[in-house]
Amino acid sequence: MILICVSFCTKGPDKVLVIFSYHPEYEWCQQELKGIQEVFSSTDVVIETFYMDTKRRSDESWKKEITESALDTIKKFKPDVVIVCDDNACQLVASQFINKKLPFVFTGINEDPQKYGMPAKNITGVLERNLINGTIGLLRELDPSIQSIAIITDNSTTSNAATTRFTQDNFPVTLKKVYSFDYYDDWKSTVKELNEEVDALGIYMYFTLKEEGSERNIPSDEVLRWTINNTSLPTFSFEEFSVKNGVLCGETQSGYEHGKEAALMAEDILKGTNPHELPLRIPTMGTMLINKRTADKLHISIPDELQQKAKIIE
């Protein structure tokens, strides 16, 4: 007797791979993941995460190694959609799949996505654009005498994209210069010089600074702590984690909102929408944050009106 066995294959749960540019402890990544998880919390979608850790390890050899690992993860996990968070994952991974079958959604992208060849027929996503006018407006509500500013940042993919826009935007105050650094000593000497040259200091990214001759990045918390302790100026940032950790103020975007928007787009794709049918999204609302400890240190009082509309970090 010949037995003929017929098996019927049914597709399992949809799978979403989330590739983060940075590390699990980075607050922005945690917020992005929270937003993504919330969208899929009531579904049976399987979420896998991969962290490229390119803030703490920014050398080219590491980027090459971790990109190969990310590509291997895609091959093994076989996701239905890939969400890439922030510029490095977009540039290093998603760009290798332009106009191929696998759909991608990017989020937290500072660069013009056309530089990466996106959007494409299989790739769409969410852009991150700093809330400059809101941040400077908040700064001047705290200190109306501010007329001139400078911005300091590290020399990284995220910073370079934003720096271009900083120099092109019309600030409501005089922007003296945007300083971009590779080395920590240059950063420190410039911070001290700027104490006498401008009215306020913008602190953007500070994760890839190194000692000259070293490949090891200086810990970001050390950089920010030194900067706050060695400037006499009111400081501002566009990032929530910086204000929480000592910068005076900023209107900040939320990694949670960026993750949520990307997940909603991924959800539409899983339901059958083609990525090229989903226009790029730009979250435009932020949260006003003021660090009270820093305000007290600078002898800046927070007006009652601001205490009502801003989130005060005690």
What is the Cα–Cα distance from 53 to 230, expressed in whole angstroms? 29
At 2 the pLDDT is: 41
For the chain, give the mean pLDDT. Answer: 93
3-state SS assignment for residue 292: helix
Query: pLDDT higher for 4 or 68?
Result: 68
pLDDT at 1 over 70: no
Q: pLDDT tens, 256-273?
A: 999 999 999 999 999 999
Q: Average pLDDT in the 206-233 region? A: 95
What is the Cα–Cα distance from 289 to 54, expressed in whole angstroms? 27
Q: Give, for 104, the enclosing helix (H) or strand (E).
A: strand 104-109
At 160 the pLDDT is: 87
Q: Give, for 38, the enclosing helix (H) or strand (E).
A: helix 27-40
pTM for this structure? 0.84
pLDDT at 247 over 80: yes
The class (CATH top level) of 132-252+287-313 is alpha beta
At 10 the pLDDT is: 60
pLDDT at 218 over 70: yes
pLDDT at 3 over 80: no
Helices (H), 104-215: 132-142, 157-168, 184-194
What is the Cα–Cα distance from 129 to 254, expressed in whole angstroms? 11
Domain residue extents for the chain: 15-128+255-277, 132-252+287-313
Percent of the chain, pLDDT > 70?
Answer: 96
pLDDT at 141 over 50: yes
Q: pLDDT tens, 4-26?
A: 444 445 678 999 999 999 999 99
**CATH 3.40.50.1970 given to domain 15-128+255-277:** yes
Within this chain, domains 15-128+255-277 and 132-252+287-313 share the same CATH topology: yes
At 100 the pLDDT is: 97
Grade residue 182 by pLDDT with cuts at 50, 70 and 90.
Answer: very high
Q: Average pLDDT in the 67-86 region? A: 98
Nearest to 95 by CA among 21, 87, 311: 87
What is the Cα–Cα distance from 302 to 305, expressed in whole angstroms? 8
Q: Average pLDDT in the 71-78 region? A: 98
